[in-house]
Structures are given as structure tokens and as C-alpha cells.
Amino acid sequence: EKGGYDHFMLKEIYEQPSAISDTYRGRIRVAEGIIKMAGIDDNLAKLLNAKRIIVIACGTSWHAGLVAEYIFEELVRIPVEVEYASEFRYRNPVIHQDDVVIAISQSGETADTMAAIKLAKERGAFVFGVCNVVGSSISRETHAGAYTHAGPEIGVASTKAFTTQITVLSLIALKLAERKGTISNSDFHYYLQELERVPEKVKIALESNEHIKLIADKYKDAKNFLYLGRGYNFPVALEGALKLKEISYIHAEGYPAAEMKHGPIALIDEQMPVVVIATKKGHYDKVVSNIQEIKSRKGKIIGIVTEGDETVKGLADHVIEIPETIEFLTPLLTTIPLQLLSYHIAVMLDKNVDQPRNLAKSVTVE
């Protein structure tokens, strides 16, 4: 049932082109410029009038929420807060009637996320769910929702759930932005076209697998890793570090690249691999100067770059290329090499990739 792959995680990484297209298929008509999502269409006024969006989630789903924060604020111009469900629920949060809560959960069973939803509902917020498991507890508890059609995710480390969550959240943002008039009609059409090209580009990103394996082999014995990104790719850095931690048991941290100089740069020496997401557009020049700072402290740099990049190639020890896309969709591509890198390191270290120690696929206790 692993479809010829050694592990569910690898199978699920490779399923992402089809999982992403399954998530938007039936919901978008690119030629006509239409996004149809029942959960959104039926609650359009509520969503458009939201003064604030509060995203609640845990783990990888929380990282998808962070990506959504950047997307919503840019496209829809509604302020977004992203909260760990476990913190939100115990903090007597300020919630207003015109707040919209978006709860993100692959399993739809996470205890903290569930409790946070109940609290938000009690205080009068409208709660929208983004779940993968159809009929799950969270999908039933929320007022409305949209499923990620990722199919079953068996590997404990979340992969295709993350990219399909970002896909659904992008669709929602695009739909609201179009209705609110916060993006132009031509941009709206162009963005939809670009979204439709993502699965092909994910396939191309997956072609770096053998190259990534060589990099994994070189750094598998490192004791620590740093992951850096800015803007839309800051949450991807967090997610890359989480993937490595949970399946290889190597300590890793994700940071916004510019925060380096406020502390973590002290960690850098010739033993420290630093994965830097340095795609074109997203503050590229700033990231290049961050790379120079690491290089001058002899850190080993693994750059995730846009196809054809020369500048980072000249500075980094290794580069992994991804195809070009519009900025807010880059997380769907930059995530892929990070998933593969942690997968190969874990396999080389002989770890139980699909069922890492101490972890469960759904965390139904707080």
C-alpha cells in the first residue's frame, strides 16, 4: 500500500502534485475566473466583513496558518493573528463577534485545536475549519469549512497536508480579495493561472531528489541545523526545521533570516549547516546579504533558489533549484526540497521515518 515507495512519507511527498490539484480541482474555473467553495460562498458576507481573522492550529498546521497570515494580509488586507491553539485556549483571549476564526487541522481531532474552537464559538466568533479528514470532530464542530482533498496521510510527519492547506487558504484569500476588490481583476486571473501551474512545478522540484540525497549524505551527522527564510518563506523555514527534528532527531531551528544578528548568529561555525530559502522576489537581496553574513562565519550554506540563480550559487556550498512562481505561492515549492532533505537524512540515520519516537499522528490529549 506504499505504492512502491519505501515509506509512506516518501509516497506522500510524491503525491503532492496530484494532492494539490485535487484540492483546487472542481473549485476553480480558470478561464472564467471563478472560485466556487460552498463553505465560503454560503458565508461570504461574514467573511468579507471580518475585522480580523484569528488562525488557530498546532504544529505543521500552525505553520500553514503563518503562511496564510502573509497571504491574507497582502491580498485581502484583513489583519490576521496566528495562534497556537494550546496558548489561545488558556489565555482568556479577546474575541469579538466580527472576528472570523480559521481552525486548521489535518486530522480534525487535535484536542487543543478543538478546545480553542469551542471557546471561540462560546464567545460569538464565526469558526471556519480547514481539515483533511472528512467527517472529523473539528469538521463537525465548526460553522463551515473547506476540506483539503489530500487523501489519507499516514506518515506521522505531515507533508501533503501542509501544501494542500496552503492551497485551500490561497483559494479562500483569492476569492475574498476578488470580492473585496483588494486585487485587480487581471491579477486575480493571473494568480489563478499560476495556481494551476503549481502541480507541474512541484513535479519539477521533486526531480532534485537525487541531488538532495547527496546533500543529505554530506550533512547527516551534523548535530544542529538552522533554517532561514523571510516573508512567505519564514514559515517554511520553521516547517523545514520541524520536519528534520521530528524524523531524524537532529536539533534544528527555523528563524526569520534577519533575526540571525540578534542572537543565533553566535551559533555559526564550520560545523553548522544553514538551509537558506533564497528564491527570487521575496526580499532576495536581503537574503543574499544574510547568506554573506553566514559565509563570513564559515557556516555551510544550502540554498533553496529559483532556477537559473547565479548569485547564491556563487556563495553557497550547495543549491537546490525550484521553478519560478508568484511570490505567495513559493511556499508550495520551497517546502518540497526541505521535506526530501529531512526524509533522506532520517533514512540514512536508520530512523523510523513513518512513526518517529514519542509522536502520534493525531494528538487527542492536551
Question: Which of 86, 113, 306, 342 forms a contact with ligand F6R (CB under 6 A)?
Answer: 113
Piece in contact with ligand F6R (CB under 6 A), picked from 101-109, 171-179, 289-297, 346-354 = 101-109
Judged by CB under 6 A, does residue 254 bind ligand F6R?
Answer: no
Question: Closest distance between ligand F6R and the C-beta of residue 345, in Å?
Answer: 15
Cell numbers placing 335:
517546502
Tell me the residue number closest to ligand F6R, measured at CB. Answer: 59
> Is beta strand 52-57 parallel, antiparallel or unpaired with respect to 99-105?
parallel
User: Which residue, 103 or 173, is less far from ligand F6R as judged by CB?
Assistant: 103
For 82, 116, 126, 240, 330, the CA distances from 235, given in Å and listed in that order, are 11, 22, 26, 9, 11
DSSP string, 19-71: HHHHHHTTTEETTTTEE--HHHHTTHHHHHT-SEEEEEE-HHHHHHHHHHHHH
Cell numbers placing 129:
475549519
Name the CA radius of gyration of the chain, rounded.
Answer: 20
Binding mask 151-180 for ligand F6R (x = CB under 6 A): ------xx----------------------
Separation of alpha carbons 336 and 364, rounded Å: 28
* Cβ-proximal residues to 270 (8 Å cutoff; 6+ apart), any chain: 298, 299, 300
Question: Closest distance between ligand F6R and the C-beta of residue 200, in Å?
Answer: 26
Judged by CB under 6 A, does residue 59 bind ligand F6R?
Answer: yes
Measured N-to-C along each axis, helices 160-180 and 330-348 cross at an angle, to the nearest 10 degrees, of 170
Piece in contact with ligand F6R (CB under 6 A), picked from 103-111, 212-220, 261-269, 276-284 = 103-111
Q: Is 298 one of the catalytic residues? A: no
Judged by CB under 6 A, does residue 339 bind ligand F6R?
Answer: no
Question: Which of 60, 167, 233, 290 forms a contact with ligand F6R (CB under 6 A)?
Answer: 60
Piece in contact with ligand F6R (CB under 6 A), picked from 18-26, 57-65, 225-233, 281-289 = 57-65
Q: How many CB atoms lie within 10 A of CB 191?
A: 20
Question: Which of 15, 22, 246, 354 forms a contact with ligand F6R (CB under 6 A)?
Answer: 246
Q: Which residues are catalytic?
A: 361
Q: Footprint of ligand F6R on this chain (CB under 6 A)?
A: 58-61, 105-107, 110, 113, 157-158, 242, 246, 362-363
